[in-house]
Amino acid sequence: MKYRLYVNGKCKNTRNFQSDIGIGGVILSDHGEEISFSRNVGVGTCSEAQIYAILQGIYEISKFNNATSIIVYVSNLMLVEYLNGREHEVSPGTEVLANRLNNLVEGLGISIYYEYFEVNEYNYVRTLAEDALKL
């Protein structure tokens, strides 16, 4: 089964390097089923929030045991390029989470590709992340 995963991560205070972060996501299957998630995941950067959202979404999809491929839509272009293998300088925390994500993907044996999307085109995903922070 093919899935599409739309994710967003939000920081409560973008002026601080570390801030409360919330994640939101929508999972769509080829058969039209839709699942959403929203939660506060602690403290981190906005890039880390995005990766936490991806991890949560892939974890939710893996519960079905039928995924063959996932296209992950992320609203951070630099992160999309980095996750697709392009060289970018990222923070140590982001690198640790990206390695965790890559290990998860390798272990599942699912084809995953990351695409950029403008979060304003899918406000529901942004709202889920904001709701997790009660903004």
CATH number (domain holding residue 7): 3.30.420.10
Q: What is the pTM of this model?
A: 0.92
Total domains, the chain? 1
Give per-residue pLDDT as tens, 73-129. Answer: 999 999 999 999 998 888 899 999 999 999 999 999 999 999 999 878 778 888 888
d(C-alpha 72, C-alpha 57), whole Å = 9
Which of the two residues, 88 and 38, has the higher pLDDT score?
38
Q: What is the pLDDT of residue 88?
A: 87
Query: Which residues form the domain of 11?
Result: 2-132
